[in-house]
Structure 1
Amino acid sequence: MARMPSVLWPLLFGNFVIGTGVMVVPGTLNEISSSLDISVATAGQLISAAALLMCIGAPLCAAVVAGWDRRRLLALSMVWYGALHLASTLSTTFAALLPLRVLTMIAPAIFTPQAAACVGLLVPPEQRGRAITFVFLGWSVASVLGMPIGAYIGGTLGWRSAFGAIGLLSLASAVWVWRAMPDGVKPPALSAAAWRETFTSRPLMLCVLVTMLYSAGQFVLFSYFAPYYKMKIGITPGQLGLMFMWFGAFGFIGNMLMSRYIDRIGAPMSVMLAVGAMALTMLIWPLGTTLMLAALVSIPWALGCFSSNSAQQARLVGIAPTLASGSIALNSSAMYAGQAIGAASGGWMISQGAMDHLHWAGLIGLLLSMAVSAIATRSLALRPA
C-alpha cells in the first residue's frame, strides 16, 4: 500500500486543531456555565450558534474563495482561528463570548471542506478515497487527544486556558500549512451551472440530508455529555477527560478501519455501517449507569462518529468528482446544520426536564439518516448511465 504524500500531514494536523476547537465547548460546558453564571442550556447556545454559522458559511465561503490559492487560504484561516480563540479568553460575559465564538467558526467553515476539496489535486486518483479519509483522521485524533485534554484543562485551569491552548496550536498549524503546501493549488471554481447541477442532483442532495440527520441525532446528546454525566454518575473533570479520550480512541480506530476498507466495501455501505453503529449506542444508552458501563455503551457510537463523515466525503467525491468542491462544502454545511439543530433541541429538552430522553431523540435522527441513505443508494443505482 502506497504511503500518503507528506503534504497531507499538515492538513491532518489542521483538522486536528479545527476539531479540537469545535469540540472544546462541549468539553468545558460546565466550566463556561459556572464562570459566566449562566445555565447549561444557555451555554449550549454557543454550540448551536457556532454550528449555524458554519452551516451557512461553508457553501458561501466555497463560492467566495473559489479562485484563491489553497496555501494562502488554508494558512490564513488557521491564523484567524488562532486569533479569535485568543480573543475569546478575554471575554467576561456570555454576551461578549457568543459573537466571538460565532466569528471564530468562519475558519472551520473554510478549512475542513477546502482541505478535502484540494486533496484530489495532491494525490493520484486511485488514492483519493484513502487520502480524504486520512486527512479526516485529524478529527479523530482531536477526539482522542484534543477534546479530552481540552476538557481536563478546562476543568482544572478554567475554560479560558483551554481556549488559549487552541489559539496557540492554530498559529502553529498555520505555519506548517504555509511551509508544506505548494503554490498554485487551485481546485477549479464551480460555475453557476455547476452549482445548479449540484443542487439538482438527487443522489448528492440525499447524501447531504443523510449527513444533517446523523449529525443532529448525535449532537442532541453529544453537546451535553458533560452535564449529563455529572448529573447521572457524578463524573469529575478528570474522569470526563478520560471518558472523552476513550470515546476518541475508538473514534480513531473507526476512522482507521474506514480508511482501510472503504475502497473495498464501498462508500454507501460504509456509511450505513457507521450510522448503524451509532444508532446501536443510542438504543442501549440507558444501560450506562456507571462509569465503566457508560464507557462500554459508547463504543459503537465512537466507532461510527467520525468514520461516517469520512465515508460521506468520499461518497460525494465518487458520485460527482467534478462537483466535489461544492458538494463537500454543502456536506460540511449539513453537518454543522445538524449540530445546530441537535444542540438546540437538546438544550430545549433539558430546559423541559427531559435530559433522560435525549438518546431517544438521537436514535430517531440516526434511523431517519439510515433510511435516507438507502434511498440515496437506490437513487444512484437507478440514475441513467
Structure 2
Amino acid sequence: MSRPAPQRGALWALLAGNFVIGTGVMVVPGTLNEISASLSIQVATAGQLISAAAFVMCLGAPLLAAAVAGWDRRKLLALTLLWYAAWHVVAALMPSFGALLPVRMLTVIAPAIFTPQAAACAGMLVPPEQRGRAVTFVFLGWSVASVLGLPIGALIGGHLGWRMAFMTIAALSVVSAASVWLTLPNGIRPAALTAAAWSRVLRSPVLMGIVSVTALQGVGQFVLFSYFGPLLKQGFGADANTLSLMWALFGAFGLVGNMVVSRYIDRVGAGRMVLLTTGLIALSLLLWPLASTLAWLAVVLVPWGLGCFATNSSQQARLVGLAPALAPGSVALNSSGIYIGQALGAALGGWLLANDATEWMSRVGFGLMLLAMGLSIAIDRSRRPA
C-alpha cells in the first residue's frame, strides 16, 4: 500500500499500539495458571478476570466512543496508553483476587477506547480506496501480540510470575504512547456521531447483523481459548516453555492470516474474507477432540491461528467500507461484539470446566462458529440486488 511517509509512520504507531493493547488483553489467558496458583483460587475463578474485563470493554467501547468524540486522536490515543500503563502497575501490586478484579476492570477501559478509535483514525489517514487495507494493517498489531506478546507474557509469567508480566506490559505501554504522540498528526477529529447517526447504526439490520456475527465468533472461540493454558497443562502436561511455544505457533499463523487478509481484502471483499476466516476457526474446533498429542494439537491449531485475528480485522474493514461516516459508532459496537463474545465465552467455558465437561468446549464453539457463518451469508445475500 503506497502512502506518504508521515502516514506510514502513524499507521505503524497505531499497529504498535494495538500490539501492546492486545498483549495486555491476552496476558490473563497466558498467565492463568500462575494467577490461580499465586492467589490460591481455582482456574475457573481466575478465568472470570477475562469475563469481567470483556464486559467492561463491551459496554465501554460505544459509551466511550461518544464521550471522546471531540478529542484530538493524537492526544486521546497517547493518554489511553498511559492509562493502560498506570493500571497495569497497580494490578501487579494487588494482593488478592478480590482486589485484582476491580483494578483489572479499570485497566481495560484502555482497549475499549484504543482499538476502535485507532481503526477509525486509520481510515482517515488514507484515501477511501485504501481504507480496508489500512484498517486491517493496524489490526495486525493484535496478530503480532499473539506471535510475540502472548508467548513472551506466558514465558515471563511462567518463570518470573504474572506480576512481572503485567509490569512488562506497563513499560511497553509507555513506549507506545510516546510513539503515537511523535508520529500521529494533530487535528484528526472524526466527526462526532449525532443521536440520529447512532440511531442509524443501531437500527441498521446489516450493521447490527455484522456486530452479531462478531459476538458469535467471540463466544465460539473463547469458550475454549480462555482456558487454553490450563487445558494443555492438564491434558498434555505442558510446562511454561511448551505453552509459550504453542502460543507462539498460534500467533505466527495469526500474523500470516492477517497479512494475507490485509493484502487481498479489497480485491476479494470483506464479506467473503469473514466467511473464509470463520470457516478456518470452525475447522480447528471440529478437529480439536482428535488431537491426542501436542504435535497433533499444533497441527489442529493452524487453521484457527490463520482465522482468529484475520476475521476480526475483516469485520472492522467490512463496517468501515459499508458506512464510512458511521464507522466511529459501528466499529465501537463491533469491538463490543468482540468483548461480549469473550465475556460470555469465558463464563461458559468456566462453567463447563467447573462441571468436568471440558469435552463440550470445542463442540459448543464449533456450533457457534457455524451460526456465525450462516448469519454472515444471510447478511451478504440480503444486500444483493433482486
Short-chain TM bin: over 0.9
Q: Following superposition of structure 1 onto structure 2, how do residues 257-268 of structure 1 map, counting pairs within 5 Å?
A: 257-268=260-271
Task: Return the match for 2:345 from 330, 342, 347.
Answer: 342
| 1:354 aligned partner | 357
Amino acid at match of 2:290: L
Paired residue for 2:2?
A: 2
Question: Corresponding residue for 1:173?
Answer: 176
Checking the alignment, whether the CA contact within 8 Å between 2:131 and 2:321 is kept in structure 1 is no
The residue that corresponds to 2:315 in the other structure is 312
CA distance, structure 1, for counterparts of residue 364 and residue 347 of structure 2: 12
1:207 aligned onto 2:227: no
374-383 or 286-295, which deviates more: 374-383
Q: Distance between the aligned counterparts of 2:36 and 2:358, measured in 1?
A: 17
Q: Distance in 2 between matches of 1:382 and 1:313?
A: 23
Aligned to 1:44: 47
Deviation per CA, 1:158-187, whole angstroms, max 9, x where unpaired?
Answer: 000000000110011111111111111000
SS at match of 2:102: helix
Deviates more, 1:156-165 or 1:113-122: 113-122
In the superposition, the TM-score normalised over structure 1's length comes to: 0.98
Number of the residue aligned with 1:255: 258
The reply to whether residue 106 of structure 1 matches residue 77 of structure 2 is: no
1: CA distance between counterparts of 2:123 and 2:191?
Answer: 11
Moved more, 372-381 or 321-330: 372-381
In structure 1, what is the Cα distance between the partners aligned to 2:188 and 2:240? 43
Per-residue CA deviations over 1:82-141 (Å, capped at 9, x if unaligned) read: 000011110110001000000000000000000101112211112111111100000000
TM superposition shift of 1:357: 1.7
Q: Displacement, 1:382?
A: 4.8
What letter matches 2:240 in structure 1?
P
CA–CA distance in structure 1, aligned partners of residues 106 and 200 of structure 2: 30
* Structure 1: runs of 5 or more not aligned: none
Counterpart in 2 of 1:298? 301
Identity %: 61
Q: 2 CA distance for matches of 1:375 and 1:100? A: 41
Instruction: Report what 2:17 is aligned to.
Output: 14
Q: Which amino acid aligns with 1:34?
A: A
Q: What secondary structure sits across from 2:383 in the alignment?
A: helix
Does 1:141 pair with 2:144? yes
> What is the CA-CA distance between 1:356 and the residue it aligns to?
1.9
Please state how far the C-alpha of 1:379 moved relative to its aligned partner: 2.0
Query: Aligned ranges for residues 1-385 of structure 1 at < 5 Å?
Result: 1-3=1-3, 5-382=8-385
Which secondary structure does the structure 1 equivalent of 2:187 belong to?
Answer: coil
Size of the aligned set, in residue pairs, is 383
CA distances 1:259-292 after superposition (whole Å, capped 9, x unpaired)? 1111111000000000000000010101221111
In structure 2, distance between residues paired with 1:342 and 1:138: 23
- 8 Å contact 1:202–1:379 — kept in the other structure? no
AA matched with 1:294: L
TM-score by length of 2: 0.98
| Structure 2 segments unaligned to the other structure (5+ residues) | none
String of CA shifts for 1:221-243, please: whole Å, max 9, x gaps. Answer: 00000110011110010000000
